[in-house]
């Protein structure tokens, strides 16, 4: 499974072409990251939108990521690795997400099913000298968590 967090439409369109080029790829639903430990930034030309693990400098600007989960075959993961320049621009890591489309009522509160997915997170050393701006944070009414504005 791969989690594609909210991206600029131009970039997202390219990722979707890589994913859906293979007929075995399946959309599983919307999700949000299990932890609020991410910082979401974008380039001033909005060509790139990247999530970083929050560090000491970005701890006050951390929130959950919202995105989509896809079941993809191994060859699509290899294509996505090439597209993201895995290990250079982005680093693929295995993380937990909560599926927003499948909440379960438990004791008057909604609980979400957990999935383990691959995330593409920005490599800070690669992007250090690029001018990036922080995406604003807001309360998401669908999952009742703080997330980043699209």
118: nearest Cα among 62, 58, 73, 148: 73
CA 111 to chain centre: 20
- What are the counts of helices (DSSP H) followed by strands (DSSP E) for the chain? 3, 10
Q: What residues does 94 pair with on adjacent strands?
A: 118
3-state DSSP call for residue 65?
coil
What is the C-alpha separation between 54 and 36, in angstroms, rounded?
Answer: 9
Q: Which segments of the chain have a pLDDT < 70?
A: 6-15, 44-48, 56-60, 136, 141-144, 146, 148-150
User: Which pLDDT does position 117 carry in this prediction?
Assistant: 96
Instruction: Say what the pLDDT of residue 149 is.
Output: 62
The C-alpha atoms of residue 82 and residue 98 are separated, in whole angstroms, by 27
Write down the pTM of the prediction.
0.83
**What is the reported pLDDT for 87?**
92
Residues in the chain: 150
């Amino acid at each position: 499974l791969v989690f594609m967090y909210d991206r600029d439409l131009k970039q997202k369109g390219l990722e979707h072409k890589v994913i859906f080029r293979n007929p075995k790829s399946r959309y599983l639903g919307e999700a949000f990251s299990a932890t609020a430990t991410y910082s979401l930034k974008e380039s001033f030309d909005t060509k790139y939108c990247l999530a970083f693990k929050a560090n000491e400098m970005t701890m006050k600007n951390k929130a959950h990521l919202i995105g989509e989960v896809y079941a993809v075959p191994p060859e699509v993961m290899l294509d996505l690795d090439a597209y993201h320049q895995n290990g250079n621009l982005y680093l693929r890591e295995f993380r937990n997400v909560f599926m927003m489309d499948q909440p379960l009522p438990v004791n008057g509160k909604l609980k979400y099913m957990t999935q383990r997915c691959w995330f593409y997170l920005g490599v800070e050393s690669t992007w250090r000298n690029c001018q990036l701006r922080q995406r604003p944070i807001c309360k998401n009414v669908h999952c009742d968590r703080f997330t980043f504005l699209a």
